[in-house]
Amino acid sequence: MSGLLRIRWAIAPEIAPRPLINCSRCGGVRPYRCSGKFRVNANGKRIDAWLIYRCTGCDNSWNFTILERRNRRDIEPALLAALEGNDPALTRQHALDAAALRNRIGQIEEFPDVTVRKELLDGSPESATALWLELRLDAATPLRLDRLLAGELGISRSRLQGWEEQKRLIIEPGNAKALRKPARNSTAVRIDLTGEADRDAIVLAACG
């Protein structure tokens, strides 16, 4: 496609998933929020580490295992220091790992809220007739791809569907249901805007 504008969207979840746990204090299942703090315990040369969660109802604690009975010499010093110092980046990494949390506890509560940072890679917005959007996610999100695109481009989901049916919207890699599935890392979305009356507005929205 001529006049191709290449843009990278860096997508970050705003709210970490929350495990749904039967709280002994509340007497029922409650969502637990990440406290942002680790607990590290040393028993001789063995190290245990947990990420602490708190009940949203009563503040009761639940520990998500990060390290279990690991020999101190097998742990990178930088990792141990990050755990002991409640490093925000490490906390976020584990808090956003929905798959690990689901494997541990079963049920979790997820949120579609994301922040999108847009970076122009190549091309001129003034002469663009097509978009190539490179999606980069730092963690999984339940936000559907069509909702992400519609919200960020300022158009309707039905319009996206129409473009897909006309082969003017192509998702790589993808299948017939890719638009209705959660956005995935390393996805590329190509959109032909030739002849669209609001092309300039869409291009501006895509660039942020």
pLDDT in tens, the chain (208 residues): 469 999 999 999 999 999 999 999 999 999 999 999 999 999 889 999 999 999 999 999 999 999 999 999 999 999 999 999 999 999 999 999 999 999 999 999 999 999 999 999 999 999 999 999 999 999 999 999 999 999 999 999 999 999 999 999 999 987 778 999 999 999 999 999 999 999 999 999 999 8
Q: Whole-prediction pTM value? A: 0.85
What is d(CA 127, CA 125) in angstroms, rounded to the nearest whole number? Answer: 6
* Region label for 99, one of left (φ > 0), alpha (ψ between -120 and 50) or beta (otherwise): alpha
Return contacts of 73-78, CB within 8 angstroms, 24+ apart: 73/45, 75/47
93 touches 71 (CB < 8 A): no
At residue 2, the pLDDT reads 62
Looking at the chain, how many residues does it have? 208
Does residue 182 have a cis peptide bond before it, meaning omega lies within 30 degrees of 0? no
Helix (H) or strand (E) holding 54: strand 46-55
At residue 174, the pLDDT reads 77
At residue 44, the pLDDT reads 86
CB atoms within 10 A of CB 101: 24
DSSP code string of 92-150:
HHHHT-HHHHHHHHS-EE----EEEEEEEEES-GGG--EEEEEEEESS----BHHHHHH
What is d(CA 198, CA 82) in angstroms, rounded to the nearest whole number? Answer: 49
What is d(CA 162, CA 95) in angstroms, rounded to the nearest whole number? Answer: 37
